[in-house]
Amino acid sequence: MKTVKFGIIGCGLMGRELASAAARWLHLLDMDAKPEIIAVCDQNESALAWFRQNVPSVTQATADYRELLKNDEVEAVYCAVPHNLHQEIYTAIISAGKHLMGEKPFGIDKSANDAILRCIEEHPGVFVRCSSEFPFSPAVQRICDMIENEEFGGIIEVASGFLHSSDLDTNKPINWKRKISFNGEYGCMGDLGMHACHVPFRAGWMPMNVRAMLSNLVPERPDGKGGMAVCETWDNASLLCEVNNPADGCTFPWLLKTYRIAPGEKDTWYLEVRGMKKCAGFSSKNINSIQLLDYTNGGEQAWQHVDMGHETAFKTITGGIFEFGFPDAILQMWAAFVYELVHGKPLKKFAACVTPGESGVSHRLFTAALESHRNRTTVPVE
């Protein structure tokens, strides 16, 4: 079993998810490589304390990421810091010759993403990917197999999105995601958009143009100090894109939604593909279920609701009938990263993390979406 020695920069919510995934690597079958977290970095001492207490393999804990990057034993880094730090820290990691799993949006804006992509080009020996875990749900993998096998026929339409209701409570104090200096002008698109783009981009469904409508529904919030603070970023975004299907050269509409204020939705990721021969739909609200419609000319149009079990891309010890959850998706994503790092190619086309090039398309799309909303026009995605 090969061991990949990892450092984590940004030991908050997502940094701890990697620690948990690494700790239960034995859950995976047939893996010939595993991560070991040996170094952690965070400016918040309590975040480091959690790692010291819970991850015995950690031998370095520092507040300065440069110190972690000087550690010759660290081969790969997971960086999960606020968006304003992506360019500086991702380029430092890549320039230090460490492999990188970066968090979305992979740069606070297009110019930051361009700088990261240039740095990757200058360091071809470094393996770089962007995180996105939801496509690893068994039902989504099944939709992906259907895409790969061209089972849908001509595509009628695609809908994908990520809906939260975490900001519905107008008394919730402001956090960094509502400030342009930390989260960027994209707002909810930068935060949630990559999740909704991963499968369509991997399918080769690239947006040619976009008409976007963006909403700032809660323009100010408590500042946590007794006053109010201005919320500068977009809460909700609806993007209608014209997509060219490389399979047949035809175009179809793709409706992409990223909402931070979607009443009734706690953390809903969904994907629907409607084709002339088959249709399929999945929502993380019903994690165990996939909706399928298999149509033959002149026949009935009947939706089937099929229970999925634990039919994961990377095989696990869990029995095939048991349900799948968020930590399982994270484990699958990390298996995909480690597998591709070690083998030089993904296990399957869709059982793979977001590439830097795909992150670049998302930035072109979200930058065009900002212009579209500003001018109330359809804008080419160039």
Ligand X SMILES: NC(=O)c1ccc[n+]([C@@H]2O[C@H](COP(=O)([O-])OP(=O)(O)OC[C@H]3O[C@@H](n4cnc5c(N)ncnc54)[C@H](O)[C@@H]3O)[C@@H](O)[C@H]2O)c1
Residues of the shown chain interacting with ligand X in the complex, contacts defined by CB under 6 A: 9-14, 41-44, 47, 65, 80-83, 85, 103-104, 131, 133, 191
Asked if residue 104 lies in contact with residue 132, where contact means CB atoms within 8 angstroms, the answer is: yes
Between 369 and 379, name the residue whose CB sits nearer to ligand X.
Answer: 369
Instruction: Of 291, 287, 296, give the one whose Cα is nearest residue 279.
Output: 291
Between 152 and 334, name the residue whose CB sits nearer to ligand X.
Answer: 334
Give Cα separations from 2 to 5, 28, 34 (angstroms).
10, 14, 6
Q: Is 364 exposed, middle or buried (0-12, 13-18, 19+ CB in 10 A)?
A: middle
For the CB of residue 131, give the shortest distance to ligand X in the complex, in Å: 5
For the CB of residue 371, give the shortest distance to ligand X in the complex, in Å: 23
Instruction: Of 62, 58, 64, 65, give the one whose Cα is nearest residue 90.
Output: 65
* φ, ψ of residue 227 in degrees (nearest 5): -110, -165
Pairing between β-strand 228-230 and β-strand 236-244 as defined by DSSP bridges: unpaired
Give the DSSP letter string of 6-28: EEEE--SHHHHHHHHHHHTGGGB
For the CB of residue 65, give the shortest distance to ligand X in the complex, in Å: 5
For the CB of residue 344, give the shortest distance to ligand X in the complex, in Å: 24
Please tell me whether residue 86 adopts helix, strand or coil conformation. helix
Between 24 and 305, name the residue whose CB sits nearer to ligand X.
Answer: 24
For the CB of residue 61, give the shortest distance to ligand X in the complex, in Å: 11
Between 284 and 367, name the residue whose CB sits nearer to ligand X.
Answer: 284
Give Cα separations from 235 to 126, 138, 143, 185 (angstroms).
35, 30, 29, 11
Measured from each CB, the residue nearest to ligand X is 12
For the CB of residue 47, give the shortest distance to ligand X in the complex, in Å: 4
Give Cα separations from 39 to 125, 126, 128 (angstroms).
22, 19, 19
Asked if residue 107 lies in contact with residue 193, where contact means CB atoms within 8 angstroms, the answer is: no
Between 295 and 326, name the residue whose CB sits nearer to ligand X.
Answer: 326
Between 146 and 271, name the residue whose CB sits nearer to ligand X.
Answer: 271
For the CB of residue 197, give the shortest distance to ligand X in the complex, in Å: 13
Pairing between β-strand 2-9 and β-strand 76-79 as defined by DSSP bridges: parallel
Between 184 and 275, name the residue whose CB sits nearer to ligand X.
Answer: 184
For the CB of residue 17, give the shortest distance to ligand X in the complex, in Å: 8
Asked if residue 363 lies in contact with residue 55, where contact means CB atoms within 8 angstroms, the answer is: no
Between 22 and 379, name the residue whose CB sits nearer to ligand X.
Answer: 22
